[in-house]
Structure 1
């Protein structure tokens, strides 16, 4: 599945970048509105309206914190099992944890996949206990209702994610089982992806049927989730086939060695006026005075600078810093770059050796060419 892109960053937790996609605003607004304008007033109609909205807002924030906890569980367990994690992005349909490689064994896959639903289930139990304690202490009825809603939604999240269909966590649990039984990771992924497509189409059919008969927006949402599962499961199977085709191929095989670089002190105007930089390339590694890599700059970023500011704006000011750019070592498996095959100038991988020197660059087209060669 193509990675979901973060619109803005929330910083880092346990060393993992946390991002938020703009689509979160939609689901956040729906949660707040659903609680403040419907559920809470219906359950307790005698309260002042600001209380409904404050309660709905706080509950929505805690809900997204629960989603983040679910994804953090995946990330932390993945790192403990030797799988690197780039970031976590919260978006319209929940969260996405972007890992740098696949689990090394079925047992590791089982741990990584099962950790998220387990955390959601534990949160459901904790919020159930919180609702009971608040009720016993004669706390605000709105607070009790909010805790009960959070308990129910976390349990629902755990159950839904445990369904054995890719790309859900249950699909990864199914893949771990099939991998263990067959010893073939590609075959296991294909089976889990097929289950995901079947389940997705069932949701699409049920959602559309219910929407046509009732006109309920919830039914349309079910169809949307089903379509997402179909697309994501199909993409997961495609990436698995690409990984299999690239098995044993190192990054150095596909990289462009000694790429054209841009000094970080060069102005944007100087970069755009240099025929050697503006012709035939769309992205360039940026280097410091010693020739070491410090980032990546694209023509899109450069041309996005207003013309009057190009003479005083340096490349270093507009580049993607090295810490945020995709990097790889020459001897790393090329298959690990498959998740970054999205088109776009920014989807380049800087190849850096163990001494920190830039030795090459890899574009999505380079990986595709290596696949065709195999």
Structure 2
């Protein structure tokens, strides 16, 4: 019997394959199509010839763990014990799966806020847990009345994605305070905070769970170098969690992947000495602004984007088709690939929304906008 009977091929793979078949501009999957930093390539070429190709320690390369601790202190003023509170993972997705596998038991309930990234629910199901999908408000802010009503004696965890994929929404100070009031009465509930876009925020600063003293002792934070350094194919991320939780997470991690690609860890460790994360955020803001300006006179309604490298649009002025069919038509007839937002909802809520990825070259965005403006 299948543990994931309702799971099919990812919508990201489906849309990318369709885009390839029709020669469409692919703004669907969330990966950059521009070159990585030349300094990263130089470090890669130099270190490739070193004696660094065997296993690293299970929890991660010591120098990389130390650099992550420094980065976390610099940005969030949080001191991390690298030996007991940190784990380098084969991408944030593996980290999230591992944390859920380690901490969620059969029958435990896990609250997931919809629209949500597609890896959360399968991870809960494989662990034997029960996903409880709760809709965000129409503006994609959290609905705390629904969240509080969903918490039961069986609730083990709430998964929060901030900055939010697919919508680009960022939690406010008031949002965190509301959650703290609720969870003050629910000490058994853990938080899994997916913060892979933490260094891609625009007008409003990203507020991390690293800074929430009332919740930090029960929170696992997932981060991604793939997203932050636009090397998604390297699949290197990390988890930070309290020692008691990390102990259990490491037990699963050691039998799932044991250790992460050694070359990537060495390269990233050295690269962290020179990279400026503020510049990364500025670069993506320029791309967001360019894409928004390019399509502002189109028939698509451009929604706010506070962070991430995704832009959500509403196409209600163009078509009444459901968003999956419209996304297919957009590829086949107009040559641009996007992701329909309904696939991020448990009940396939369809508000005629699409998600475009603007982590692309300016030339790609200009070419895509020309096609979108012609619709």
**Higher share in helix:** 1
Q: Indicate the structure whose relative CO is greater, using CA pairs within 8 Å and at least 6 residues apart.
A: 2
Please indicate, yes or no, whether the TM-score normalized by the shorter chain is above 0.5.
Answer: no
Q: TM-score, normalised by structure 2?
A: 0.27
Q: TM-score, normalised by structure 1?
A: 0.27
Instruction: Compare CA radii of gyration and give the structure with the larger one.
Output: 1
